[in-house]
Structure 1
């Protein structure tokens, strides 16, 4: 199993060198159709398939097996004969992705009616906080305490997800907990010490507060200078406008509902953040992998990924405190991970804000070039162990799918 997008194309090239042409399914939260069907397919002489989820994987396999039985599959070409209709999905995914980025929807003779009515489940007239500053701040490794980041780590995600120490079927919870305590936690402590002493990570973040206002399903985000200029949402020009999907049923939520509307003619505040473990983390992971130290690679890569997430949690908690919600802060990591705090944190690419390339203006507003963080044409962040997010403080804001 490939643990890093950085190695996917390398592994596909290695398959080419060995004459391997079997179909390869690629998926995961970090991947996009454009990366899979563009970069990866261009690298591989066989076929790559974007596995959006387990159901997509099963659908492909349900088509592949009968196609092979009827000799309607060629590794280098894909489906043939009566199964040929299942090809070209990759190119369509890239075109759909490009249309989404460019703001062009699918062509249709019927006009599309978009529901932009604010959800009645979200109160408008709430107390709005004043940020401690407008603009951004950078915090580097010297400003951060590793022990605090360790506290924010999601150990369940690390142990069962990244490190693959899952509870076997039939094993009792007591036996599994004993295994974690006696075998896995010592590994964790060993890698904590390595990270402390070897300086293999350079945790860095930029965060800040930006004026914003909502209209329909969209959120206007402005440069901080509009505050100094004495402008308002009706007189200022947005730096970027993000449009978000709305739930078609249930509470009909849309992220824009949580933001003060333009017609109030007062700016709301949109905190944003970007965190990274630095280029050194990617380089060290690649070094371990190339030296065939696969176990060390697994442990280190998992730690780097989860510490990036921990830094995102740490930064989000700092933002909540700076906005005046410190008295609502959980005192244990379980409640933090369960979102038992004020508001929510959203990252582009997830259901409530699905357009990954909306990160481009976000990175520009945050000035992420100052911390060496960028996004490439394949919609991948670099360095790899990095995340971006924006924060909504509204008490109703939680994760949801739209």
Structure 2
């Protein structure tokens, strides 16, 4: 809100100032920022833009899915003092490292800030710094980026900055940021460890977990194949009921209870200030049609074989066990030794089981409207609506999963409140590729093909990014022992 106010004030004043007073040369420095190739997430990047531009920096915001060629072209065009690359996906971190190596080839040595949820300081200061001749800085948040830029430009003005050495003749917080972490390992020890690992035989545990009852109820699905649900099939009030308010209010909107504040005082604040905001946005979503929810879900015949789940062709009339896809899942190395395949009927039982899947999206309209709010400098609305979009996609996933549980005959076990649903107090579980129980994100390509998601313009590109941005997919298990578990 303060950034939005400051932006409005600056715009008001600029019309009353001499042109040479508001020229581009009067900026404190030039800062290029971009979300890397294959990544559409921009909330963090745009917050950096807001903070730096309102503090006197010329920010060249290139947008999302930017190739290294575009970033380099902007560097030369604007004579940048710093380049910042952002990304949320794990795959994006690999692109960042590759981009740094291309910067080397082009002779670029200016400081580079890397930021995003998938990054860690260790990865930035070690792996990425080793890949780049200049200095690489871990962008913890927008204010740390601002702090670094203030120090950088002060040092450059005093000739106390060198692109290769960093800050000269003084010790600062930023100096520690650009130094790689000493992990006390020599290349020789890494080589020896690698050799030892290569000599070990690879033994995969495929023995079914005894913690998963094999004699469980196997439901009959209402249909085989897929079903498409359009916005008119999805009651918006049902989605609002499935909203995770804690994730929205404290997570997305950052209205967290301050440490030491009495719970009653925080609840009063929510009632007086926050819930009215939520009510306004619910009305806007309905009246302005700001969401376009669509769902494809379905049921596929399957059988488990060790750690593998085989999906059969539901359309086949000749061969009921014609395999159309197989998913290999990891097994826990300790504890209950769980594996997703354990939750389905093993092949030796001779029973054809049911494998539900779903893909949901709230549509490209969410991304487009959020971008419009940001372009119009409506930063507060941008933050609120972006959070609504993220959590409504999650609510749609919860709603679809509940529909699947009911269709499989488990309606009597359904919770009657959202708290119990979020705590997984229902039959089975929902897993998404990329998480510990099913880490192979590439398996999502098979999933999208089986669900035929091109019908709702949902796809995953070569960077393993799912489109539209506010979309999720999941595989469903109905077994009562199926809950979230780590690898």
Interval containing the TM-score (normalised by the shorter chain): 0.7 to 0.9
Q: Where does 1:1-400 land on structure 2 (aligned, <5 Å)?
A: 5-7=40-42, 10=63, 13=71, 16=75, 17=78, 19-21=80-82, 26-27=87-88, 31-32=89-90, 34-38=91-95, 42=99, 47=112, 57-60=120-123, 74-75=135-136, 108-226=198-316, 228-229=317-318, 231-232=319-320, 236-400=321-485
Q: Give the secondary-structure state (helix, strand or coil) at the position aligned to 2:214.
A: coil
| SS of residue in 2 equivalent to 1:297 | helix
Alignment coverage as a number of residue pairs: 366
Contact 2:41 2:87 in 1 (8 A): no
349 and 267 in structure 1: CA distance in 2 versus 1, 3 angstrom threshold:
same
C-alpha distance in structure 1 between counterparts of 2:418 and 2:401, whole Å: 13
Q: TM-score, structure 1 length as denominator?
A: 0.82
Instruction: State the alpha-carbon separation in 1 of the partners of residues 417 and 479 from structure 2.
Output: 22
The Cα RMSD (Å) is: 3.3
Q: Distance in 2 between matches of 1:40 and 1:284?
A: 32
Question: CA 1:287–1:18 in 2, change beyond 3 Å: closer, same or farther?
Answer: farther
SS at match of 2:259: coil
Higher RCO (Cα < 8 Å, 6 or more apart): 1
Q: Deviations over 1:325-376 (max 9, x none)?
A: 0000000000000000000000001110011111101001101000111111
Hey, what's the Cα distance between the residues in 2 that align with 1:381 and 1:61? 25
TM-score, structure 2 length as denominator? 0.68
Q: Distance in 2 between matches of 1:389 and 1:60?
A: 29
Deviations 1:30-64 (A, max 9, x none): x12x22322785499565658776xx724357769
Q: CA deviation at 1:225?
A: 1.2
Q: 2: CA distance between counterparts of 1:58 and 1:273? A: 35
Indicate how the Cα distance of structure 1 residues 162 and 51 shifts in structure 2: closer, same or farther if over 3 A, else same: closer
Quick check: 1:22–1:75 contact (8 Å CA) kept in 2? no
Mark the CA change 1:51 to 1:279 in structure 2 (over 3 Å): closer, same or farther.
closer
Is the Cα contact below 8 Å between 2:113 and 2:136 reproduced in 1?
A: no
